[in-house]
Chains A and B, each alone.
Chain A
Amino acid sequence: MTEMLKVTVDRRPPLAVIYTEGYINNQGGEEIARVAYDLIDGDHTTLLLNLKGTKIVNSIGISILIEIIEKMLEIDGRLAFCNLTPTIEKTFHIMGLAQYAQIFADEEVALGELTV
């Protein structure tokens, strides 16, 4: 059971895929935000968060993800998610994240849509 979030990035400008592994809580969310803002500063305007390695997210983590979505909207960018567990996907829908960030079943489908 992985607890501390690990984040890795695959840069494909102007798109970048952020892979997470572990708990998206306060610490995990801050780490994602740090990586996301660095990518934004590096002119990546489309971010795909692949949550394949994440089984758990809490409200603090969600609030940070919302801030990242807002930041992406400010720069006319796009944020999308893929590989969500059913529980996390349901949570994102209830919390309204799905209104502003697309959710895809897996990375292949997401890249097909986001790179068009």
Chain B
Amino acid sequence: MNKAAASLETRLSWQDVLDAASRREGERSFLLRLVLYICQQHGLQAAALYSKTEGGFDRLVSAGSEAFPTSLGEDEDLEYDSLLLPDGLLLYKAGENGRKEVEGPLILALSSALRATVLRGRLKQQSFAINYRGVELEALYDVGLAIASMLNLGQLGEEILLRAVSLLDARRGALYLRSGDRFLLDHTFGGDARGELPFDDPQIEALLEERLPTDQDLLPGARHLMGLPIGTDGRPQGLLIVADKESRHGVGPFPNADSRTLSLFANQAAIALETAYLHQQALEKERLERELDLAADIQRRLLPTVFPRMDGFEVTGWSRSARHVGGDYYDFLRVRDDRVAAVLADVSGKGLPAALMVSTVHSALRLLIDQADVGPELVRRLNHHIAESSAPNKFITLLVAELDPSHAEMRYVNAGHNPALLIGPSAEVKELESGGLPLGLFDNSSYRAGRVDVGVGDLVCIYSDGITESASRRDEEFGVERLVDLLRISRDEPLSKIVSAVDSAVIDFENGLDQVDDQTLVLLRRTA
């Protein structure tokens, strides 16, 4: 007899009722037997016992075939006879010969049993509430541990939303994460939500002030919303919304206590999100650094590793980038009749964009140098190629010089680069001036060649402005004069020693300051 409605056909004895009380069938089984026994003793066709609730009564058990309602309102008109009990109500339908009034010791016993049931129910509810408070506290604690250790932003967003919905008995929810000047929907639960919300969306303010109209379109169809920004130090990283507080009777608004719980939860979630963001940024930085290392390696391969040996000249080059990769480029290219082209180029800007331009110059120069002599036509073609393939605000200064072992004269084209320096036998300095605009500025630029006599022992220095514009702690520039002085002093030293001397002098001058620009040097000396 474990159903709440039972037949009256089976005759019960008082002992049957007592047996039910002593067994573990449950209190409803005992109440049912007691109601059945009352029906039989009072000649009732059917009866139902209700417990009192807030605003009405809920049916506990019913005996007989009558379909009594499962719940009743407090002031509801009743179509049955009734007896009000301290903790509930007995509805009954009298039989043909039955009594209209039910009373006596059995009713007292029923009332006592109902009271015991109601009290036990209250105790259970209180015990449940206390236990669930433990679940809430544990959940808040867990958020700090479990989701703070979750570094995948996608998983973290879902976990935060699921825990918030569960913790607050919500039926629906949505989590938005900040992206620029708006919130973008990260996860939704239980239904649709708007895809994005600008910071100044009036619905956000209305949500946070709990005056959102029921026809809102944040979570279409949801009736009761509660939301909080997620953020640390007053910076909102996201927006957490829960909707429609559940109870056994449906959904309703969230009580004030839930607002506090959500606030505590949002604080924990903010820390977890911040941690995950930082982790993601660190991973991204690591990935970029790996890519930059690879790019730097590729760029190093663009620079000569072995310097050409040729009759009558010795050459060397050196370059140090300010970042992983740089915008300076130098090269020595063999051209016809045992001649060598020495080139130094400096791309405007630094870093990866400049390095990509370096790659373009490198490829183009190597292709074009087989088609044209070192001179204005070569540089004009190079300019045309660069102007077509580079961004409008990018340009390249370049100096290319041709070394001919059979001539004392050196031809060069200077496209907007710093004048190269020629240190003569008496330490006099000649500047190899500009012969046109930097590459990439205008498609139709023209260039002119320069010529200079290079005597035995003369030193030619082509350099990038990263050397002469390196700055000291007093904000002074290294300058051309210091470079010239160094070259004069070391003019007769081996070229590698001159490079080391310039390198050391610049480092000493910067005195621990970060290198601001790429630094490159090409040295040529006529030996015979």
- Give A residues with C-beta under 8 Å from B: 1, 3, 23, 25-26, 55-60, 62-63, 66, 70-71, 73-76, 87, 90-91, 94-96
Alpha-carbon separation in the docked complex, A3 to B191 (Å): 8
Apart from the given pairs A60-B169, A74-B25, 10 other A-B contacts in the complex at a CB distance below 8 Å: A23-B165, A25-B246, A56-B165, A63-B248, A74-B29, A87-B142, A87-B163, A94-B131, A95-B131, A95-B132
Binary A-proximity of B164-185 (CB < 8 A = 1, otherwise 0)? 0111011110000000000000
Digitize B105-142: 1 where CB-to-A-CB distance is under 8 Å, 0 elsewhere. 00000000000000000000001100110110011001
Q: What sequence of 0s and 1s flags, for each residue 11-49 of chain B, a beta carbon within 8 Å of any chain A beta carbon?
A: 000000000000011100100000000000000000000
Q: Give Cα A66 to B129, complex, Å.
A: 13
A57 touching B248 in the complex, CB below 8 Å, given contacts A3-B190, A95-B132:
no
Cβ-based interface call for B310 (8 A) = no
A95 to B246, CA, bound (A): 18
Smallest CB gap from A66: residue in B: B128
Interchain CA distance A3-B127 in the complex, whole Å: 28
Kindly provide the distance from the CB of A26 to the nearest chain B CB, expressed in whole angstroms.
5
B132 shortest CB reach to chain A, Å: 5
CB < 8 Å neighbour of A56 from B138, B162, B188, B248: B162
> Which residue of A94, A95, A96 has the most chain B CB atoms within 10 A of its CB atom?
A94
A90 proximity list for chain B (CB < 8 A):
138, 142
Of the candidates B135, B138, B163, B248, the one having the most CB atoms from chain A within 10 angstroms of its own CB is B135
Tell me the bound Cα distance from A75 to B29 in angstroms.
11
Once the chains bind, are B132 and A70 in contact (CB under 8 Å)? no
List of A residues within 8 angstroms of B142 by Cβ: 87, 90
**Using Cβ atoms and an 8 Å threshold, which residues of chain A touch B371?**
none
Partner of B246, one of A55, A60, A74, A91: A60
Residues of B in contact, count (CB < 8 Å): 34
Query: What would 16 A/B residue contacts be, using CB atoms closer than 8 Å?
Result: A1-B158, A1-B187, A1-B188, A1-B189, A3-B189, A26-B247, A26-B248, A58-B169, A58-B170, A58-B246, A60-B246, A66-B128, A87-B146, A94-B134, A95-B128, A95-B135
Assuming A58-B165, A94-B134, is B189 touching A75 (CB within 8 A)?
Answer: no
Complex-state Cα separation, A51 to B64, whole angstroms: 38
User: From residue B190, how far is it (CB to closest CB) to chain A in Å?
Assistant: 5
CB closest chain-B residue, reference A95? B131
**Residues on B with beta carbons closer than 8 Å to the beta carbon of A26:** 246-248, 250
Compute how far the CA of A4 lies from the CA of B473 in the bound complex, rounded to whole angstroms: 68
Which residues of B are at the interface with A, using a C-beta cutoff of 8 A?
2, 24-26, 29, 127-128, 131-132, 134-135, 138-139, 142, 146, 158, 162-163, 165-167, 169-172, 187-191, 246-248, 250
- Contacting A70 at CB < 8 Å: which of B26, B170, B171, B188? B26
Q: Which residue of B lies closest to A92 (CB)?
A: B135
Query: Do A63 and B247 touch (CB < 8 A)?
Result: no
Query: In the complex the two chains form, what is the Cα distance from A63 to B126 in whole Å?
Result: 12
Q: Are B190 and A73 in contact, with the CB atoms below 8 A?
A: no
Chain A min CB distance to B28 (Å): 8
Contact of A55 among B162, B172, B187, B248 (CB under 8 A): B162
A91 & B171 in contact (Cβ 8 Å cutoff): no
Of chain A, the residue at the smallest CB distance from B191 is A3
Nearest 9 pairs of A and B residues by beta carbon = A74-B26, A3-B190, A58-B169, A94-B134, A26-B246, A95-B131, A56-B166, A56-B162, A59-B132
Cα A96 to Cα B127 in complex, Å, equals 10
Q: How far is the CB of A30 from chain B (nearest CB, A)?
A: 9
Known: A25-B169, A75-B2. A60 touches B248 (CB 8 A): yes
Shortest distance from the beta carbon of A76 to any chain B beta carbon, whole Å:
8
Q: Measured between alpha carbons, how far is A56 from B170 in the docked complex, in Å?
A: 11
Most chain B C-beta atoms within 10 Å of own C-beta, residue among A25, A62, A90: A25
In the bound complex, CA of A87 to CA of B165 (Å): 14
Asked if B246 and A96 sit within 8 Å, CB to CB, the answer is no
Distance of A62 Cα from B162 Cα, bound (Å): 16
- Which one of B29, B134, B166, B167 has the highest number of Cβ atoms from chain A below 10 Å of its Cβ? B166
Q: Is the CB of A74 within 8 A of B131?
A: no
Chain B residues near A76: list those with CB within 8 A.
24
Give the chain A neighbours of B248 by CB distance below 8 A.
Answer: 26, 60, 63
- In the assembled complex, the CB of A93 is this many whole angstroms from the nearest CB of chain B, namely 10
Which of A59, A73, A90, A96 has its CB near the most chain B CB atoms (within 10 A)?
A: A59
Report whether B135 and A91 are in contact in the complex, using a CB–CB cutoff of 8 Å.
Answer: yes
Neighbouring A residues of B134 by C-beta, 8 Å = 94
Instruction: Provide the bound-state CA to CA distance between A75 and B167, in Å.
Output: 32
Give the Cβ gap from A112 to chain B, nearest Cβ, in Å: 28
Closest partner residue, chain B, to A60 (CB atom): B246
**A67 CA / B166 CA spacing, docked (Å):** 19
Q: How far is it, in angstroms, between the C-alpha of A28 and the C-alpha of B106 when the chains are bound? A: 40
The answer for the CA separation of A58 and B248 in the assembled complex, in Å, is 12
The one of B138, B187, B190 that contacts A23, using a Cβ cutoff of 8 Å:
B190
- List of B residues within 8 angstroms of A1 by Cβ: 158, 187-189
From known contacts A74-B29, A75-B2, A87-B142, infer whether A60 and B247 are also in contact, taking CB-CB under 8 Å: yes
Instruction: A70 to B117: give the CA distance in the assembly, Å.
Output: 14
Q: How far is the CB of A68 from chain B (nearest CB, A)?
A: 13
Whether the pair B132, A25 counts as a contact (CB closer than 8 A) is no
Minimum distance in angstroms from A90 CB to a CB of chain B: 6
